[in-house]
Amino acid sequence: MPDFSVLLTHKAAEAIRKGAVWGQVVLKVSTPESIGAVVAISHGSGGRFPVDLDVPGHFLKSCDNKPWGYWYRVSAELHAHWLLARAQRAVVTVEGFRGLVGSGFQSPGGNAHLAITHVAGGQDKYSDLQLPEFALWRVSADGAEPLSIDVEPDVTGARALAPHWPVADLESARVLVVGCGSIGGAAARDLALAGVGRLDLVDPGRLRWRNLPRHICGPRHVGRLKVNALREDLTLLREQTEVRAHATDVVLEADKVRDLLQDTDIVLCAADGVVPRRVVSHLVRRAGVPAILACVLENGQVGELIRLRPWQGHGCLQCRRDALFAEGGMRPESMLAADYGTGSFHRPMTAVGSDLHLIGSFAAKVALATLLHDKGHHDQRIDAEHAVVALRPRPGWAPPYDVERAGSVRWMPGFPPRSGCPTCEPA
């Protein structure tokens, strides 16, 4: 079991930075996990005030409050001792510890207590040591044992990746995800992880028992609308992403989706079946919004991504299919309607969750690259519009689905519109 450790919340750290020179500390402690979180402090012997965890669902919230420890403002030299004692698995004598505490030191007596120490201001002569601002100790009559403390940073989530990731460009991005099954769920999760500011989830379906082997949502959500289950999980994962749930059928309620497209930067369509994909292809073209269509074919043998651009010279989904067919290819859409299998009948092999998530993640990657490239990030350029990903390839498929090795990706250019296409060239 690792050493006992403490989480110092952002609020607690701020209160200590701005506080007096010492005070009391209350923790919530999980004994099995050997960790606690600071939930209340005082300044000197004054009243305690809450500095609680501001994290919904955090596991320590349900743990018991344990009374007292202390915090002290200390000389930087004590944190140099902390580093050294950690490295040598040694302790600092009580006298040595007390000598570097500004004031308020509480003698441990017969019991051990925890002490959080804080070094204010510059690091002076110890600057080359990179001294921690906060340190944790278990203080007993035998000495002060150095322990680890994890300070909640000012900024968490994808925002913490700035300036090495275009955080602002993604926070302002609005992505519509149509189809929240196994592929769409994984794609939505990746979009939230990347820091997309708003996700609109569109799916009228419920999470069924048969979805569980492949969906990113777990059994506690069985029976719920998929959009609500995902919204809850994604909000817990990345609270900075606004997730909006729409239990909307893209075919039967196309008008509602058309309205959402007025305020959408890109669509990621992972809907099952031929008709929803055609409807999305038509709606995005008319709305002038780019889209990524993602699916797997034939029980998960091959994944496919198609990027649709609302540009002259770029055809819609139907134009692409017709062009491929004219070149002697096959029409893969008919393979889309097939269920992956429910476990109630035999298939030689089936699509597995990890393969579907791979395609969902890939679709999210292409959606993010498209968004960022359109915002001027030229390193995100993809010089192709159509990808086939081999998941469990079988020989003998017609091009371009004749990918041979699991994991290989074949990229292809887009296709021009057919003349007279009612989507691309309406009368």
Q: Please identify, among the stretches 45-53, 141-149, 243-251, 310-318, the one whose residues bind Zn ion according to the rule CB under 5 A.
A: 310-318
- Closer to Zn ion at the Cβ: 315 or 332? 315
Enumerate the β-bridge partners of residue 202. Answer: 178, 246
| Shortest reach from residue 276's CB to Zn ion, in Å | 17
Angle 207-208-212 (CA atoms, 0-180°, nearest 5)?
Answer: 85
Residue 59: strand, helix, or coil: helix
| Shortest reach from residue 308's CB to Zn ion, in Å | 9
| Shortest reach from residue 309's CB to Zn ion, in Å | 12
Q: Please identify, among the stretches 88-96, 184-192, 314-322, 395-403, the one whose residues bind Zn ion according to the rule CB under 5 A.
A: 314-322
CA-based nearest residue to 72, from 27, 123, 136, 9:
136
Size, binding site for Zn ion by CB under 5 A: 7
**Is 316 a residue that touches Zn ion (CB under 5 A)?**
yes
- What does the buried/exposed string (b/e) look like for 270-302 if buried means 16 or more CB atoms within 10 Å of the residue's CB? bbbebebbbbbbbbbbebebbbbbbbbbbbbbb
What's the token pair of residue 229? 């289950």
Q: Please identify, among the stretches 41-49, 93-101, 256-264, 312-320, the one whose residues bind Zn ion according to the rule CB under 5 A.
A: 312-320
- Closer to Zn ion at the Cβ: 209 or 325? 325
Report the C-alpha gap between 22 and 104 in whole angstroms. 6
- Closer to Zn ion at the Cβ: 79 or 320? 320
Question: In the window 368-427, what residues touch Zn ion (CB under 5 A)?
Answer: 417, 421, 423-424
Angle 403-404-408 (CA atoms, 0-180°, nearest 5)?
Answer: 65
- Closer to Zn ion at the Cβ: 119 or 292? 292
Report the C-alpha gap between 107 and 408 in whole angstroms. 66
Report the C-alpha gap between 123 and 134 in whole angstroms. 13
Asked if omega into 400 is within 30° of 0 (cis), the reply is yes
| Shortest reach from residue 332's CB to Zn ion, in Å | 17
- Closer to Zn ion at the Cβ: 228 or 318? 318
| Shortest reach from residue 314's CB to Zn ion, in Å | 9
What type of residue is 85? A
**Is 228 a residue that touches Zn ion (CB under 5 A)?**
no
| Shortest reach from residue 299's CB to Zn ion, in Å | 29
User: 3-state SS string over 312-372?
Assistant: CCCCCHHHHHHHHHHCCCCCHHHHCCCCCCCCCCCCCCCCCHHHHHHHHHHHHHHHHHHHH
Which of 101, 319, 372, 388 is in the footprint of Zn ion by CB under 5 A? 319
CA-based nearest residue to 246, from 182, 193, 179:
179
| Shortest reach from residue 423's CB to Zn ion, in Å | 4
- Closer to Zn ion at the Cβ: 308 or 390? 308
Question: In the window 2-61, what residues touch Zn ion (CB under 5 A)?
Answer: none
| Shortest reach from residue 319's CB to Zn ion, in Å | 3
- Closer to Zn ion at the Cβ: 305 or 319? 319
CA distance to 20, 125, 290, 300, 302, per residue, from 265 (Å)? 50, 52, 7, 29, 28
Site string (269-308) toward Zn ion, x via CB under 5 A: ----------------------------------------
3-state helix vs strand vs coil in the chain, percent to 5? 35, 25, 45
The answer to whether the Cα torsion of 394, 397, 403, 409 is positive or negative is: negative
Q: Please identify, among the stretches 27-35, 76-84, 159-167, 319-327, the one whose residues bind Zn ion according to the rule CB under 5 A.
A: 319-327
Which of 300, 315, 332, 353 is in the footprint of Zn ion by CB under 5 A? 315
Q: Please identify, among the stretches 60-68, 114-122, 313-321, 356-364, the one whose residues bind Zn ion according to the rule CB under 5 A.
A: 313-321
Q: Please identify, among the stretches 130-138, 149-157, 311-319, 345-353, the one whose residues bind Zn ion according to the rule CB under 5 A.
A: 311-319
333: left (phi over 0), alpha (psi -120 to 50) or beta: alpha
Q: Which residues contact 322 (CB under 8 A, 6 or more apart)?
A: 418
- Closer to Zn ion at the Cβ: 168 or 254? 254
| Shortest reach from residue 168's CB to Zn ion, in Å | 35
CA dihedral of residues 343, 344, 348, 352 (deg, nearest 10)? -20
| Shortest reach from residue 318's CB to Zn ion, in Å | 5
- Closer to Zn ion at the Cβ: 338 or 421? 421
Question: In the window 91-120, what residues touch Zn ion (CB under 5 A)?
Answer: none
What's the token pair of residue 47? 């009243």
- Closer to Zn ion at the Cβ: 273 or 310? 310
- Closer to Zn ion at the Cβ: 28 or 285? 285
Q: Which residues bind Zn ion (CB under 5 A)?
A: 315-316, 319, 417, 421, 423-424
